[in-house]
Amino acid sequence: MTIIVTGGAGFIGSNFIFHMLNKYPDYRIICLDCLTYAGNLSTLEPVMDNPNFRFVKESITDRAAVEKLFEEEHPDMVVNFAAESHVDRSIENPQVFLDTNIIGTSVLMDACRKYGIKRYHQVSTDEVYGDLPLDRPDMFFTETTPIHTSSPYSSSKAGADLLVLAYHRTYGLPVSISRCSNNYGPYHFPEKLIPLMIINALHDKPLPVYGEGLNVRDWLYVEDHCKAIDLVIHNGRVGEVYNIGGHNEMRNIDIVKLICKELGKPESLITYVTDRKGHDMRYAIDPTKIHDELGWLPETKFADGIKKTIKWYLDNESWWEPIVSGEYQNYYEKMYANR
Ligand code: NAD
Ligand code: TDX
């Protein structure tokens, strides 16, 4: 089995590569990643010498490079993690989100059509469903909830999802899609809520909570997401969408307070800043389908996962220090200086 994993130098893709190489020692895994600001080759260092692993630095939008890779490797599957993934960046500059998330997806699927494939899997997000009201805790996203996006990011992911389903119906491409809730865990890029708060708290810097911090996200430990994708690509039905989430809804402010408590830092570091434009209120996944069809259940409880994650950031300063002291510093200044 040969699998091309795109975006494997990022947060979830790298965790997925570790999971797959560990669980299937006879699989060949090729990581296709162009190393944007969010891609980090040092993350993949532990597997670089594995003879069943290959890293290729190219963009999924580069048709010639993608076709060359298909000719060289004859993949059985493609799992597409590669994306621009940060909502705030999409509000500042939508164009690259359309290029990577939509055009990149079409380039990958065209190569799958041209050379043949057993499965093309699209890693999508619960954000394609828009948001839910805070006063309706009985409401959840199911796979049939209408697409109703809020940000350029979620719109680009939804556009890609629709294209994936269209390639299935029009060309019979054997596709699947998973839509997951918010992930957390090792190698999460420091621009996202949980790692940003951990690292700022460690430096006794202000903890910038958007609006009143009452927005709710449904958090899943990254390993549980990887295991779910593993099940979908092997046993999931072609042409289907699977929602992934662990019924773990938390308000942003409660997460930030928990991080302060775990690190022994004062809540006075919390600073309420201007809200995100178009900020989604609540995400909540109904994972009944993947549970009933594939037997998937999350294994890591949030109370344990957040402790493991904080410990990972404490133990791995050498991974995140070069990021927060480098180019990312300019982004942070631009986004938060006058907020
Ligand atoms: P990330 O930003 O950490 O990593 C993205 C990776 O894609 C990086 O390594 C980057 O270099 C690479 N990449 C970007 N553009 C590329 C291109 N044109 N060609 C090749 N590689 C490119 O993202 P993440 O958080 O790991 O998310 C991975 C996927 O999962 C995304 O598709 C995202 O939409 C989806 N997702 C993320 C979450 C979450 O909570 N992080 C939840 C649900 C779904
Ligand atoms: O500094 C911050 N302060 C703050 O209050 C940041 C970075 C975020 N927030 C809030 C905004 C959100 O309500 O925290 C919440 C989580 O924000 P992000 O970490 O940016 O994640 P989110 O916007 O929910 O999107 C994430 O989950 C779905 C991923 O980044 C997406 O790629 C995925 O599709």
Which domains are seen in the chain, by residue range? Answer: 2-187+220-249+281-300 (3.40.50.720)
- Yes or no: say if 232 and 77 are a contact pair by the CB < 8 Å rule: no
pLDDT at site 338: 81
315 has catalytic annotation: no
- Give whole-number Cα distances, 317 to 9, 32, 268, 269, in Å: 18, 26, 24, 21
> How far is it, in rounded angstroms, from Cα 196 to Cα 299?
25
Ligand 2 within 6 A of 85 CB? yes
Q: Single out the catalytic residue among 120, 129, 153, 167.
A: 153
Ligand 1 within 6 A of 245 CB? no
Burial (Cβ within 10 Å: 0-12, 13-18, ≥19) of residue 326: exposed
Phi and psi, residue 5, nearest 5°? -110, 110
Which one-letter amino acid corresponds to residue 184?
A: Y
pLDDT at site 333: 85
Low-confidence residues in the chain, pLDDT < 70: none
Tokens 């800043």 belong to residue: 273
Ligand 2 atom closest to Cα of 194? 19
CA of 87 relative to ligand 2 center, distance in Å: 7
Q: Which DSSP category does 104 fall into?
A: H
321 has catalytic annotation: no
DSSP three-state, residue 28: strand
- Yes or no: say if 252 and 213 are a contact pair by the CB < 8 Å rule: yes
Ligand 1 within 6 A of 9 CB? yes
pLDDT at site 206: 98
Please tell me the pTM assigned to this model. 0.98
Ligand 1 within 6 A of 14 CB? no
